[in-house]
Chains A and B, each alone.
Chain A
């Protein structure tokens, strides 16, 4: 079936540095690409999303870029802070679909 590969599975950065997480998908009909942040003991929280008619979207220190030709999208976090430490999940869904397919997650650790 359709899936999404997420890399890396773990990422450690120094506070203030940037972090990049990349996902590659296989379904060419996909048109919605959200990123979720999950803190320990909590449910996933939507932090940013992008649709296929947009190449890049920013929200303060986070940004998502989409390359539909190469079928990959990435999460960029700049000026990382300790509170950015969490597990991040990418996901995608197809046109008209409610169903999200999730990546396996990236555990980000920001070292003070």
Chain B
């Protein structure tokens, strides 16, 4: 049981490049979500999913795409990276039946130059 695993831990992109941040959990959690964390801003919800095949937008979805083809994986895609997307990204998941209780991965630190 590895919990919530995020890869990579660090990434540097040039403006306009694309990339996918990976998130996987091996706990059979239905709910998964992506947050970004910026200095002095707390955590802001980007996208979330209540199960395989279902995704929805959070507070700050612009510039990001997600998909949920399996229960285990919830990748976050940046199609054309911008400097404003420089941030630390966290993936979280919730056990079945608990809804609100969320467990976080260790994060991906992304810099867009």
Interface residues of B in 29-65 (CB under 8 A from A): 31, 33, 35, 40-45, 48, 50, 58-59
Is the CB of B101 closer than 8 A to any CB of chain A?
A: yes
**Are B48 and A98 neighbours in the complex by a CB distance under 8 Å?**
yes
**Are B104 and A43 neighbours in the complex by a CB distance under 8 Å?**
yes
Interface centre among B48, B100, B102, B107 (most CB of A within 10 A): B100
Is the CB of A65 closer than 8 A to any CB of chain B?
A: no
Dominant secondary structure at the A interface: loop
Cβ contact of A104, chosen from B35, B41, B105, cutoff 8 A:
B41
**Are A100 and B100 neighbours in the complex by a CB distance under 8 Å?**
yes
Known contacts being A44-B90, A98-B31, A98-B50, is A89 close to B99, with CB within 8 Å? no
B33: which A residues are within 8 A, CB to CB? Answer: 98-99
The interface size bin for chain B is: 20 to 34
Per the bound structure, the CA–CA distance linking A89 and B99 in Å amounts to: 19
Is the CB of B94 closer than 8 A to any CB of chain A?
A: yes
The interface size bin for chain A is: 20 to 34
**Are B100 and A89 neighbours in the complex by a CB distance under 8 Å?**
no
Give min CB distance, A25 to chain B, whole Å. Answer: 13
Known contacts being A96-B99, A98-B100, is A43 close to B42, with CB within 8 Å? no
Per the bound structure, the CA–CA distance linking A42 and B9 in Å amounts to: 11
Give min CB distance, A38 to chain B, whole Å. Answer: 9
Is the CB of B106 closer than 8 A to any CB of chain A?
A: yes
**Are B43 and A89 neighbours in the complex by a CB distance under 8 Å?**
yes
Cβ contact of B42, chosen from A45, A93, A104, cutoff 8 A:
A104
Beyond the given A89-B43, A99-B58, A104-B40, please list 16 additional residue pairs across the A-B interface where CB-CB is below 8 A.
Answer: A32-B100, A41-B107, A42-B106, A43-B4, A43-B90, A43-B104, A43-B105, A43-B106, A43-B107, A44-B43, A49-B100, A97-B100, A98-B100, A100-B43, A100-B45, A105-B42
Which residues of B approach A to under 8 Å, CB–CB?
4, 31, 33, 35, 40-45, 48, 50, 58-59, 90, 92, 94, 99-107
Which residues of A approach B to under 8 Å, CB–CB?
1, 6, 9, 32, 34, 36, 41-46, 49, 89, 93, 96-105
